[in-house]
Chain A
């Protein structure tokens, strides 16, 4: 179980508890946190679950796979701390994680 803070583009914060094994994307969708669309449901097929990982958490979360990187390369407003949230698995070490959402997923 990890407490995750999702921050919308306009600064609104959503703090939710997410079970281990779920993805950071699923944590948002299942709790109706706006700002993550996840059109493909987590198949790493659409790049509509783009988030910015808080700098303090980048090392713990790790970097994207080659497939994810290729998808991200075409997303809007990509930064070095960009990830697709469907590819981040929740685990105890991520308790306290902060992610920010871009203005748009499309």
Chain B
């Protein structure tokens, strides 16, 4: 292993973290980190939150300090596109025609924003939010007197809506489903966030059948619908999910199925290639299935899995998937996935702004907890999801029993 060369494609949260972990765990050979953005690895979550509101600087976003990559002997190749992987010759071909040889390759290519196939989708002012460059464009279009239409009532859209309100812009959220967060959260949570955003002045078009993005002289002026009145706006943010960047892997013949298939050591079907982060479909041991987890905790967990396997360390402990979202003064923390659940138990009072929704399976085991301003319920729920201990719903519901006691921690 001493002089083996690790090449990482993708310099986002996953790619940057695996490079750092490799060094921390004793990888002594060259590490080459190739990214198609012009800046060193940075944190994406603040782009829709603190950064968008101007509460964090570009320096704050950095995954590590400026000097870190040089000091650790990690070669950053930024603003560089990879055109293909030669798995026989064990080398990566760059768009420039240059070949970069590897002994071990790690794919951390992430995901990209899904586009809408709508008339007007190419107009100036139609944006998505994935990268720092995207966030910069969006931020420059927000402020008093501006009108933002968010298409898609998911987390990115709602976080951007909250930040845009903080900057004084008018905001309307357009959602195809009859409720917000339809794909990712339970309906009590959807109702709660709808009420909260309305209180902060966001307006909504739910169950909206979008017909076209309208424009004049190439610039966005509004949205039109098959089933409602048109809405005027000067910026449209599309937040309708992400697509895994698994094309390089597929073209190289790696097993893929809406994401690069990996095991719990982040290994792909090629023994010298690993894949981590949003681009993967991974085992979910607690749920007995495979899934894509678009989240920072997942990127970090898989970065550790790959780095441990590559340096001969014992694998890191398995983690319960988790997610978080900040909107206004609300901290939403979610542990687990709402799979195989047939009962919802609410602990606390949504109208007081702090409560948690537990998703229970048929065996009274907790599959998922969604906690609003309720860190104890999040932490306790996470423990219970990991331990698979059954819990009586009436104990969960009873706020006179401290959560720590309910969790048996």
Write the residues of chain A forming the contact surface with B, with a CB cutoff of 8 angstroms.
22, 26, 29-32, 34, 37, 39-41, 43-47, 67, 70-71, 73-74, 106
How far is it, in angstroms, between the C-alpha of A45 and the C-alpha of B326 when the chains are bound? 10
Given contacts A32-B68, A44-B331, A71-B379, 11 further A-B pairs with CB under 8 A are A32-B72, A34-B24, A37-B300, A40-B297, A41-B45, A41-B296, A43-B326, A47-B379, A73-B379, A74-B383, A74-B407
Please, which residues of chain A bring their CB within 8 A of the CB of B38? none
CB-defined interface of B327-348 with A at 8 Å, one 1/0 digit per residue? 0000101000000000000000
How far is it, in angstroms, between the C-alpha of A64 and the C-alpha of B63 when the chains are bound? 25
How far is it, in angstroms, between the C-alpha of A47 and the C-alpha of B296 when the chains are bound? 15
A74 close to B296 (CB less than 8 A): no
Please, which residues of chain A bring their CB within 8 A of the CB of B45? 40-41, 43
Known contacts A47-B379, A71-B379; decide if A40 and B296 are in contact (CB<8 Å): yes
Shortest CB-to-CB span from B364 to chain A, Å, is 21
Instruction: In the complex, identify which listed stretch (B223-231, B316-324, B387-395) lies at the interface while the others stay far away.
Output: B316-324
A30 close to B65 (CB less than 8 A): yes
Shortest CB-to-CB span from A85 to chain B, Å, is 16
CB-defined interface of B301-328 with A at 8 Å, one 1/0 digit per residue? 0000000000000001101001010100
Known contacts A74-B379, A74-B383; decide if A41 and B62 are in contact (CB<8 Å): no
Asked if B208 CB lies within 8 Å of chain A CBs, one says no
Write the residues of chain B forming the contact surface with A, with a CB cutoff of 8 angstroms.
20, 23-24, 43, 45-46, 60, 62-65, 68, 72, 296-297, 300, 316-317, 319, 322, 324, 326, 331, 333, 373-376, 379-380, 382-383, 404, 407, 409
Please, which residues of chain B bring their CB within 8 A of the CB of A71? 375, 379
**Candidates B65, B373, B404; contact of A31 at CB < 8 Å:** B65
Known contacts A43-B324, A45-B324; decide if A67 and B375 are in contact (CB<8 Å): yes
A-B contact count (CB 8 A): 66
Known contacts A30-B62, A45-B331; decide if A39 and B380 are in contact (CB<8 Å): no
**Candidates A22, A37, A39, A70; contact of B376 at CB < 8 Å:** A70
How far is it, in angstroms, between the C-alpha of A27 and the C-alpha of B108 when the chains are bound? 26
B68 close to A70 (CB less than 8 A): no
How far is it, in angstroms, between the C-alpha of A41 and the C-alpha of B23 when the chains are bound? 20
Known contacts A32-B23, A74-B409, A106-B319; decide if A39 and B300 are in contact (CB<8 Å): yes
How far is it, in angstroms, between the C-alpha of A85 and the C-alpha of B251 when the chains are bound? 44
A29 close to B64 (CB less than 8 A): yes
Please, which residues of chain A bring their CB within 8 A of the CB of B296? 39-41
B326 close to A74 (CB less than 8 A): no
How far is it, in angstroms, between the C-alpha of A43 and the C-alpha of B326 when the chains are bound? 8
How far is it, in angstroms, between the C-alpha of A31 and the C-alpha of B379 when the chains are bound? 28
Known contacts A41-B45, A41-B296, A43-B45; decide if A73 and B376 are in contact (CB<8 Å): yes
Shortest CB-to-CB span from B122 to chain A, Å, is 34
How far is it, in angstroms, between the C-alpha of A49 and the C-alpha of B46 when the chains are bound? 18
How far is it, in angstroms, between the C-alpha of A22 and the C-alpha of B64 when the chains are bound? 13
B65 close to A39 (CB less than 8 A): no
Please, which residues of chain A bring their CB within 8 A of the CB of B68? 30-32
Instruction: List 5 A-B pairs, Cβ < 8 Å.
Output: A32-B24, A39-B296, A41-B45, A70-B375, A71-B379
A41 close to B319 (CB less than 8 A): no
